[in-house]
Amino acid sequence: GMASGEPEECDWGRFHEWIHCLCIVTFDLELGQALELVHPPQVALSERERTNICYLAFPDSNSGCMGDTEYHVRLRVAPEGEGPRLSPAHTTYNGCTTESHRADAGHLWGFVYFRQTRAPDLPRGYFQKSFVLLSRLPFVSLFSRIAHQIAPLFFDGGTRVLQDAATAIGNWPTLAPGTLQLPFLGHKYSVTVGEGEPDAQEDAAERIVSLHEPESLQGLIQLLPHVQLLWELIITGEPIVVMASSPADCSHLVHCLSSMIAPLGFSGETRPYFTIHDSEFREFTQRQGPPAVILGVTNPFFAKTLQHWPHTIRITGSRAPSVATSYRTHLQQQKSLTRQVLGRAGRPLPIQSAMLRRHLLELTQSFIIPLERYMGSLMPLMRDVSPFGAPPAPHHFRQEDFLATLPHAGPQLTTTLKGDWEGLYRRFFRSGNFRAWHELRHRQLTHALQALHLQALASVDLAAWMEGKHEVEVVDMVLKLRQKIAVCSETSRQTRDRLEHQLHDIEGRLPEDLRLLLRSGAST
């Protein structure tokens, strides 16, 4: 027990719903950056993953980051077959959230806390170590705080701290939609998982407003004159490189950029901090057209290797932040935006962030509403849902038909921003963001139509339908009802009960020999 000083046993199943593992990366004179420790030790990391983690865990040597530096990274991991699979809790969570917020089988998020201090007694005169928390979940606001809590304790207290942290996380509630209380080393966080509204929270808990959105938009506020341009580049899924002087700056700005179009999901790849040693270096720097990635870098070498990238943001401290691009915006920038966001001198950053977030949300909603309205028109009419036919599919999304709705039902209904909206939609249609949005909406419409079809089948008068029908048709209907009842478990209890009632009713009207034959068929 606890009294004997033995560490409490950790619930590793629960721990892995939230966190993949904790790593310590150190600087070794012979090896350079080396993985000193992985907790729990049974977590298998491939050689490539270990190498990527080691390089991502340290700022580039030219950053001159003394003291503590905190940032986040994202790395590609072995495909499903080889690597650790998603847990059932991840799969359930993924079903209730948008693509960009899902647990990802192909990537890990890393939350880095790097410490560099002068230490005359060490061979190089420096202490250099990084704590890295790895997770499949893009919960930047939560895991940055957890790393911020564990790392300093670890640097002082060693591995016992990692055991205590893991035990605490193993005691968290299961990863599921809703508002959860997460106690951690004398602290308590209140978070909302999934797309729900936050419930009441305990007074003692620190409320994390959003698990995935940045809390401050400071990175974008320094780029206010370019906000309209950046929003268009993000919504159309353009490749962007962010050149900064520290991993903290570039990872923050990449995070801000990828969440600019919320609630629309950003479906591109993000690398909040990327090094020249990364295993994807060749892939991302090749000449034939950059991939749809937002890349954060600090090594000046990238200025050369990425000069063919179409859009480059520089926030390197010495000069004013700038955006180099030949892209012409489709919409005019709102003239009063800078005044609206910055307000009078001395307005606090959280208020500036809230004003900018509101502007971006209104812009995105003006863009999405016409698309949602058109998507709704692709739903077949109720009278076309026949209980006897197959469930109808949504009508096809035809881009030209959608564009034809713009003059009378376009963004001008909700925004005063002028410009070439049609040209912007055409670019959007070529992006992964459109594909992901359309796939999600199409799936939702299909589910809705299947539910309506089941309701129609559950409420039709089958006795009247049976009159004059051939036995083969009736047997078909029995088999169809059984199949519908089998898939109906997720939908409403009521529909299922009515379908079962329909099935018994039909079976009761069949000749006895046929009824017995169908019964024996059902049990095999």
Nearest to 432 by CA among 287, 239, 182: 239
Give the Å distances, CA to CA, from 242 to 6, 9, 214, 248, 364: 47, 43, 17, 12, 23
State whether residue 150 is helix, strand or coil. helix
What's the gap between Cα 218 and its chain centre?
Answer: 21
265 secondary structure, DSSP code: P
3-state secondary structure 451-491: HHHHHHHHHCCHHHHHCCCCHHHHHHHHHHHHHHHHHHHHC
254 secondary structure, DSSP code: H
What distance in Å separates the CA atoms of residue 275 and residue 438, rounded to the nearest whole number?
34
Q: What is the pLDDT of residue 4?
A: 45
121 secondary structure, DSSP code: T
3-state secondary structure 174-219: CCCCEEEEEEECCEEEEEEECCCCCCCCCCCCEEECCCCCCCCCHH
Q: Are 465 and 502 in contact (CB under 8 A)?
A: no
User: What sign has the CA pseudo-torsion 204, 207, 208, 210?
Assistant: positive
Which helix (H) or strand (E) segment holds residue 367: the answer is helix 349-376
Q: What is the pLDDT of residue 457?
A: 84
DSSP letter string, 69-120: EEEEEEEE---TTTSPPPPHHHHHHHTTS-GGGS--TTEEEEEEEEEEEE-T
Kindly list the structural domains of the chain, giving each domain's residue range(s) and its CATH number in brackets, ordered by start. Answer: 13-174 (3.30.450.200), 217-441 (3.40.50.11500), 461-521 (no CATH)
Query: Residue 167 has which token pair?
Result: 């035990």
**pLDDT by position in tens, the chain (length 524):** 344 455 568 899 999 999 999 999 998 877 888 899 999 998 989 999 999 999 999 998 766 778 899 999 999 987 655 555 788 899 888 888 888 888 988 899 999 999 998 888 887 788 889 999 999 999 999 999 999 999 999 999 999 999 999 999 999 999 988 899 999 999 999 999 987 666 666 667 899 989 999 999 999 999 999 999 999 999 999 999 999 999 999 999 999 999 999 999 899 899 999 999 998 999 888 878 888 999 999 998 999 999 899 999 999 877 899 999 999 999 998 888 999 999 888 899 999 999 999 999 999 999 999 999 999 999 888 777 888 888 888 999 999 999 999 999 999 999 989 999 999 999 999 999 999 999 989 988 998 888 888 888 888 888 888 888 888 888 888 888 888 888 775 657 888 888 888 888 888 888 888 877 777 766 54
Q: Is the pTM of this model over 0.85?
A: yes
Query: Residue 248 has which token pair?
Result: 């903290």
- Residue 458: count other Cβ atoms within 10 Å of its Cβ: 21
Q: What is the pLDDT of residue 7?
A: 58
Q: Are 253 and 244 in contact (CB under 8 A)?
A: yes
Instruction: Look at the block and give the residue holding tokens 């796939």.
Output: 439
Which helix (H) or strand (E) segment holds residue 25: the answer is strand 21-28
295 secondary structure, DSSP code: E
